[in-house]
Amino acid sequence: MKKLFTVLVFSTLLLAACSNHSNSTDVSENDTQQQSDKSRKDQNVQKKHEKVIKNGCTYIDNILIVNKEVSLPSNFNPGENPESQQALQKMFNQAHKENLNLYKISGFRNYQTQVQLYNQYATRDGKKAADKYSARPGNSEHQTGLTYDVGAVGSDKNLYKSFGDTKEGKWIAKNAHKFGFIVRYPKGKEKITGYQYEPWHLRYLGKQTATKVYDSDQALEEYVGLK
Ligand SMILES: [Zn+2]
């Protein structure tokens, strides 16, 4: 559905561009044409995304973007974000009230740590395999300080896809956005995100944006118009 919409918007852009060159012809259709041009323009305004690059970091609609194509500079070293840390704790507290014991497996990782991790994985499994589950240095979302891998205390499903089938994994899928997080690499979006399904990898966006992304059923790349 969303894809169809994007296609429509894109093709109207093409149409709008064409109509500028054919002013002298379609006179009879002029009124209708102007009308639909206006509504097309309104749609385009709504779908427009603002991209800003600041000190080597890419922000789209004020969301810091890190993925396989968009990287962070090696000196970007913000540490753990206090707001997301607090939100994570709130989420754990709520889960605890519902008899689910979640904990943080990992959070902020600096560039150098990612260099070591990636090299270790690539040596063990080869680069091609490592790229499916690990980020190259500069391309890890953990370097933002806004990202966490979470697990269930004592579970043997932690950091496996099957974590998504546990009651803790299901609870996260359903509730994380209420605390400002999204499951960053959803099932079925592997080709868009470039990562396998990771029901444990959460990215903090704030409640409002996380809820919008959750409701959109899109991966973050789609939501900000990258894919
Ligand atoms: Zn992760």
- Per-residue pLDDT, 41: 47
Residues 80-92 have pLDDT tens digits of 999 999 999 999 9
Percentages (nearest 5) of helix, strand, coil residues in the chain: 50, 15, 35
- Quote the CA–CA distance of 17 and 121 in Å, as a whole number: 49
- Per-residue pLDDT, 132: 83
Residues 160-187 have pLDDT tens digits of 999 999 999 999 999 999 999 999 999 9
CA distances from 110 to 31, 60, 72, 142 (A): 58, 22, 11, 8
If we measure between CA atoms, which residue out of 204, 168, 167, 164 comes closest to residue 186? 164
Residues 123-164 have pLDDT tens digits of 999 999 998 888 999 999 999 999 999 999 999 999 999 999
Residues whose beta carbons lie less than 5 angstroms from ion ligand 1:
149, 201
- Quote the CA–CA distance of 82 and 121 in Å, as a whole number: 30
Residue 203 alpha carbon to ligand 1 centre in Å? 9
Confidence of residue 68 (pLDDT cuts 50, 70, 90): very high
- Quote the CA–CA distance of 224 and 193 in Å, as a whole number: 12
- Per-residue pLDDT, 5: 46
- Quote the CA–CA distance of 198 and 202 in Å, as a whole number: 9
Residue 148 alpha carbon to ligand 1 centre in Å? 6
Question: 10-14, 89-93, 192-196, 213-217: which has the minimum mean pLDDT?
Answer: 10-14
Residue 139 alpha carbon to ligand 1 centre in Å? 12
The mean pLDDT value of the chain amounts to 86
Residue 25 alpha carbon to ligand 1 centre in Å? 57
Residue 142 alpha carbon to ligand 1 centre in Å? 6
Residues 95-122 have pLDDT tens digits of 999 999 999 999 999 999 999 999 999 9
Residue 115 alpha carbon to ligand 1 centre in Å? 15
Residue 193 alpha carbon to ligand 1 centre in Å? 13
Residue 55 alpha carbon to ligand 1 centre in Å? 24
Residue 198 alpha carbon to ligand 1 centre in Å? 8
Is residue 48 scored above 80 in pLDDT? yes
